[in-house]
Each structure stands twice: as C-alpha cells, then as structure tokens.
Amino acid sequence: MRFWLIIFVILFTSYFAIQRHLHPQLNHNSIIDRISHPLDHRLRYRIGEIDPRFNISHEQVKLLAQQATEIWHLGTMKNLFVYDPNAKLAIHLIYDERQIESSARNQALNILENTQQDQNIKREKIEKIRAELDQSNREIDIYKVNYETKMSQYNQFVSRIYQSNQGVTPSIHAQLEQLKNQLQADRVNLNQKLALHNQKVNQLNQQVDALNSNTQQFNQSVDQFNARFQPRQFDKGTFSGQSINIYEFQSDADLRVTLAHEFGHALGLLHNSDPKALMYPVMKEQDLQNFRLTSSDLAMLNSR
C-alpha cells in the first residue's frame, strides 16, 4: 500500500511539474485550483481593488478584462484565461502620478483637438470668402469694361456732334445730359464696388494673418505636447506573479490592450521588437480599437 502511495505521489508530482512546464500560466493559479481542475490549463484571474478616482466600475473592468482575453483567444483559437472570483491572480487599478499625468495629457490633447477643429473651421471660412472675392473681382472687371465701353461711346457721340458743325438741339442736349448722368452714376457705383471689395480683401488679409499666427502658436503647442507626453510605456501596468497592477489608462481601448499585454506576461512572454505587436514595450503604433495579435506575438507564445 505504501509503495503504491509513493508511486501515486511521484506520478502526481510529475504530472503537475510537466503541466507547469508546458503551461507556464498555471504557476499563477493557486494549488487548490490546480488540484480542483487538473485538466484545465487556463489562467484564472479575478478583479481586485479599483481606486474610485478612475471613475470605472467593477463590471466595466471585468468586461474589458474579458475582452482582453478575447484578443488572445481570437489570435490563438485557444482558451487561455477564465474569470474566477476566487482566483489567485488579481487585477488591481492603482491610482498614482501616472494617471494624474495621463489625465493632464488627455486634457491637453482635447484642447489641441478643439483648437485644430476651430482652425479648420476658420480656414474653411477663409477659403469661402476668397472664392466670393474672386467672383466679386470678376464681376467688377465686367462692370468696369461695360463702364469704359459706355464712356467711349459717349465721347464718340460728343465728338461726332461737334465735328458735324451743327448746333446742339435741346433734344440732343437732354440726351447728352442723361448719358452723362448715367455715366456718373455708373462711376459712383463702380467706386463703391471697388471700395467694398478692397475692404473685404483687407479683412480677409487680417483673418489670414490671424490664422497664420494662431497656426504658429498651435504648432508650438503641439511641439510642447510631444515633448512633455512621450509615447506611453507599458510600465503603466505591471505583472508581479500574483497580481496585474494597472496605474494608468486613457480610454477603454487603452485599458483593454494594456490588460492583454499584462496577460501576455502572465503567459510567460517577454517584450519583443515589433512596434505593432502586443508585447512591444511601448504603446505607440498599435491599433487600439481593432487590435489583433501579430505574428511576433504568436511566435513568442509558441516558442516559450
């Protein structure tokens, strides 16, 4: 009996040793979990403490964590994780200076985006005014040509009268006065059109100068933003073996990918050099909204 007990202990220990080697994530499950679910290779996790200053609920974090595990599921077609409220591995959201800095970044980014939107609106208005002035300039040119044509015809008419050596009859005199008055009215109208056009041109130039000045200030603000807020390091989240601690995130998509990254560490993966990969140490070029595991991530998982 004792012999078989020793054999059983050896086999039992060997099985779990081999299991831990083949599935490193099991190292982070409790012994009770491993004994209770000897054929289950999934990493069990739970939602731990959430600082209320993050303004996110327990259920929201749970949902985003499940979505993070789904990234691994879709990429590998394997169920590597399972939520368990009694799991050893806990996800904590810890509020510190990183989230304060992240909030400052979001606020500064919102200001830049609003400023850029305002600049775009002003630029569109300027283009509209410029098009209207181009049309106005063409209309003035046509009006000016018509005026000069009428003036030339008037002068020719007067010249013919005086060259004919005939006296100016009352009817011709009245006709000349009417033409002269019409030309004077046309000239006044032309001058008014030119004055209004030039006024609008000056206003447009002022708006263009203001826009250029604001654009220069905006570009300086962008440079200052980029200098202060560097690409986000994944040390905003850490994996310690017993917990995943999240210190900073800027959106639900950001938190989801950060959790997926830390789950990767829980699977035994280190960082890689593919800037689009989940396990790249800097969150910069990844598509947060529609993230998929890259070949680099899968290669690391298969070679662990």
Strand 237-239 and strand 243-246: the pairing is antiparallel
CATH of domain 106-228: 1.10.287
The string of DSSP codes covering the chain is -HHHHHHHHHHHHHHHHHHHHH-GGGGGS-HHHHHHSTT--PEEEEEEEE-GGG---HHHHHHHHHHHHHHHHHHHSS--EEE-TT-SEEEEE--SHHHHHHHHHHHHHHHHHHHHHHHHHHHHHHHHHHHHHHHHHHHHHHHHHHHHHHHHHHHHHHHHHHHTT----HHHHHHHHHHHHHHHHHHHHHHHHHHHHHHHHHHHHHHHHHHHHHHHHHHHHHHHHHHHSPPEEGGGEEE-SSEEEE---SSHHHHHHHHHHHHHHHTT----S-TTSTTSSEESSS-STT----HHHHHHHHT-
Per-residue pLDDT tens for 84-128?
999 999 999 999 888 888 888 889 999 999 999 999 999 999 999
Is 39:45 a contact under the CB 8 Å cutoff? no
The domain made up of 1-95+247-303 has a fold known as: Collagenase (Catalytic Domain) (3.40.390)
User: Which of 11, 44, 8 is closest to 26 using CA atoms?
Assistant: 44
pLDDT by position in tens, the chain (length 304):
554 445 544 444 544 444 444 455 655 555 555 555 555 678 899 999 999 999 999 999 999 999 999 999 999 999 999 999 999 999 999 998 888 888 888 899 999 999 999 999 999 999 999 999 999 999 999 999 999 999 999 899 888 887 776 667 788 888 888 999 999 999 999 999 999 999 999 999 999 999 999 999 999 999 999 988 876 555 788 998 889 999 988 899 999 999 999 999 999 899 999 999 999 988 777 888 889 999 999 999 988 7
Q: pTM (2 decimals)? A: 0.62
Same fold, 1-95+247-303 and 106-228: no
Q: What is the domain partition of the chain in residue ranges?
A: 1-95+247-303, 106-228
**pLDDT at res. 40:** 67
